[in-house]
Amino acid sequence: MSTYVESIKSEYLKNVIDNAIEKNINEKEFIQALQEVLTTLEPVILQNEDTYKKYALLERLIEPERIISFRVPWLDDNGKVQVNKGYRVQFNGSIGPYKGGLRFNPTVNQSIMKFLAFEQIFKNALTGLPIGGGKGGSDFDPKDKSDMEIMRFCQSFMTELQRHIGQDVDVPAGDIGVGAREIGYLFGQFRKIRNAYEAGVLTGKGLSYGGSLARKEATGYGLMYFMKEMLKANNIDTNGKTAIISGSGNVAIYTCEKAKQMGIKVLAMSDSNGCIYNENGIDLDYIKEIKEVRRSRIKDYLNYNPIAKYFENSSEIPAIYNIKADIVLPCATQNDINLETAKLLVSNGTIAVGEGANMPCTNEAINYLIENKVLVAPGKAANAGGVATSALEMSQNSMRTSWSFEETDKKLENIMINIFNQCQNACREYNLGTNYLAGANIAAFKKVSEAMLAQGII
Ligand code: NDP
Ligand code: 2IT
């Protein structure tokens, strides 16, 4: 586990970090996220240390308001009873109802839920919309499950979750392993149990029952709007650049779509087994067919395009990162890029890294990239377009209306430009150069801490 920057001067901040590590010693992803955020906050902490200390602001900020952990029993297609773990972490509700996705993946545990919910607090604050931070999920593995198994699992999961959520309480959405199909089954069960049409209780819904146009595209499009703005601020044009995108799920697919619209050639995409490389640029229609329709492996791309190449993952460094590109867009999962991979990216001449996933770079990796002048679009800012558009979906549900694709997409673009400006302004105010990670953390912390202090010791 990495140590925090030894140069921290604030005794208060040091103590909080040390205690947090001790108290959460078995939760390595959560400690990683805490260190990533807290170590960048020192300039603000030093300005207001006495107040933060007096009101135990940081101690309260890093302790979830509530963690719900529950049993999810369901029947598989053979009539056998299966049991999974279910979670919802309601981390911080000072700005609005808890908001954040649900992840269904066998790696899910309390540490991963807490790191995601913690990051979500700051991400949601940056959107400027009234949403607090939460996250949930299960260690259920949706791979190779039948549609009926997925439905029965979602129904059982919601049978418990429904008592903890509501459109003014906590509003879940999708994340890894949870897309439109799962949200549909979850919403159906919620509606049946509650006997009320509370459309705003979940986002990422289908368009026929309260979903928002552009939500499906929002995280990926938003990532590229942020990237374009960041490059523009550094006098770099997107047109004619090359990119690689790890992952091939919701975020990766719509990142690729927007990148292509911006004149960027996407050379490679991946899944957890390996990557496909197409030197003429990835044909996204094939990826959509393989991943959105057939729910199959990325290797199948070779059946559509035999001249493409497939590289299986075989070492610490995922195969995709061996392919040189100007822009690297990790859109799969956490800790995809470690220090060794970051060194490879720097030696390959990477100009920019855009974090579509949550915490895809280890702390050592992201610091190395920044120190070596790679422009990094940090996840909690750059991938905020998804949750921002979820909040727009909530607005439309409350107003009982729906906006056009163009209108919603334009709002999304403006939100992403605004988020970049917040990061840049914080960088200017605190002399942080192009350390947009620190800029994002500081800008978000200022909003959350102000709301928390105003609401007293709760
Ligand atoms: P999907 O389930 O649609 O896709 C996930 C992709 O990541 C798949 O290609 C998957 O490959 C790959 N992946 C998952 N786990 C691993 C792993 N352990 N190692 C390597 N590859 C893996 O999820 P999303 O696209 O929605 O989410 C991707 C990332 O973006 C996550 O970090 C999520 O938290 C983040 N995010 C999502 C938002 C959203 O709106 N959906 C918003 C903001 C961030 P395989 O099929 O082989 O598992
Ligand atoms: O990580 C994220 O921001 C998401 N998975 C989206 C959350 C949401 O509520 O839309």
The DSSP string of 94-155 is SSSSEEEEEEE-TT--HHHHHHHHHHHHHHHHHHTSS-EEEEEEES---TT--HHHHHHHHH
Mean pLDDT value across the chain: 97
Residues marked active site are found at 135
The per-residue pLDDT for 1 is 40
In the predicted structure, residue 166 carries a pLDDT above the cut 70: yes
Which residue's CA is the closest to the ligand 2 atom numbered 4?
A: 101
| pLDDT tens profile 251-309 | 999 999 999 999 999 999 999 999 999 999 999 999 999 999 999 999 999 999 999 99
What is the mean pLDDT of the segment spanning 359-367? 98
pLDDT at 61 over 70: yes
Ligand 2 atom closest to the Cα of residue 384 is: 3
In our burial notation (b when 16+ CB lie closer than 10 A, e otherwise), range 398-416 reads eeeeebeeeebbebbbebb
1 vs 24, 29, 318, 362, CA distance in Å? Answer: 12, 10, 21, 10
Q: 101: closest CA among 215, 269, 272, 258?
A: 215
Measure 417 CA to ligand 1 centroid, in angstroms: 24
Tens of pLDDT, residues 215-232: 999 999 999 999 999 999
What count of other Cβ atoms lies within 10 Å of the Cβ of residue 436? Answer: 27
Look up residue 19 and give its two tokens: 């205690």
Q: Answer whether 66-196 and 216-377 agree in fold.
A: yes
CA distances from 245 to 253, 365, 429, 447 (A): 9, 17, 32, 32
From the number of C-beta atoms within 10 Å of its C-beta (0-12, 13-18, 19+), residue 25 rates as: exposed
Q: What is the CA(157)–ligand 2 centre distance, in A?
A: 18
Q: Is the dihedral of CA 121, 115, 383, 56 positive or negative?
A: positive
Check the CA dihedral 311-316-321-324 and report its sign.
negative
99 lines ligand 2 (CB under 6 A): yes
> Where would I find the beta strands (DSSP E) of 265-339?
265-270, 274-277, 309-312, 327-330
DSSP code for 434: T
Q: How confident is the model at residue 5 (pLDDT cuts 50, 70, 90)?
A: low
Atom of ligand 2 nearest to the CA of 389: 10
Distances (CA, A) of 225 to 59, 130, 238: 35, 22, 11
CATH 3.40.50.10860 fits 66-196, yes or no: yes
Nearest to residue 365, comparing CAs of 331, 333, 342, 336?
342
Q: What angle do CA 388, 390, 392 make, to 5 degrees?
A: 75
**pLDDT score for 7:** 80
d(CA 58, CA 124): 18
Whether ligand 2 lies within 6 angstroms of the CB of 363 is answered as: no
pLDDT at 3: 47
pLDDT at 416 over 90: yes
Q: 132: CA distance to ligand 2 center in Å?
A: 12
> Which CATH architecture does the domain made up of 216-377 adopt?
3-Layer(aba) Sandwich (3.40)
Average pLDDT of the segment spanning 232-243:
98
Structure tokens at 345: 């990216």
Going by C-alpha positions, the residue among 182, 162, 160, 164 that lies closest to residue 173 is 182
Ligand 2 centroid to Cα of residue 173, in Å, is: 6
Rounded to the nearest angstrom, the distance between the alpha carbon of 347 and the centre of ligand 2 is 33
Per-residue confidence (pLDDT) for residue 2, from 0 to 100: 43
Tokens matching residue 188? 């159906």
Answer whether 174 contacts ligand 1 (Cβ < 6 A). yes
pLDDT over 80 (residue 381):
yes
Most ligand 1 atoms within 8 A of CB, residue of 272, 273, 291 to mutate: 272
Domains of the chain, residue spans = 1-63+434-458, 66-196, 216-377
8 Å CB contact between 121 and 97: no
Q: What is the pTM of this model?
A: 0.98
Of 66, 59, 119, 70, the closest CA to residue 90 belongs to 66
Query: What is the spatial distance between Cα 284 and Cα 345, in angstroms, rounded to a whole number?
Result: 24
Per-residue confidence (pLDDT) for residue 341, from 0 to 100: 98
> What is the residue with the minimal CA distance to atom 8 of ligand 2?
387
- Tell me which DSSP letter residue 208 carries: G
What six digits make up the tokens of 162? 């429904």
- Point out which residues pair with 178 in neighbouring strands: 175
Q: What is the percentage of the chain residues whose pLDDT exceeds 70?
A: 99
Residue ID of nearest Cα to ligand 1 atom 32: 357
Rounded to 10°, the helix 405-429/110-127 angle is 90
Kindly tell me if the per-residue pLDDT of 66 is higher than 70.
Answer: yes
Q: What is the CATH number of domain 1-63+434-458?
A: 1.10.285.10
Q: Which residues of 314-335 are buried (b: 16+ CB within 10 A; e: fewer)?
A: eeebbbbbbbebbbbbbbbbbb
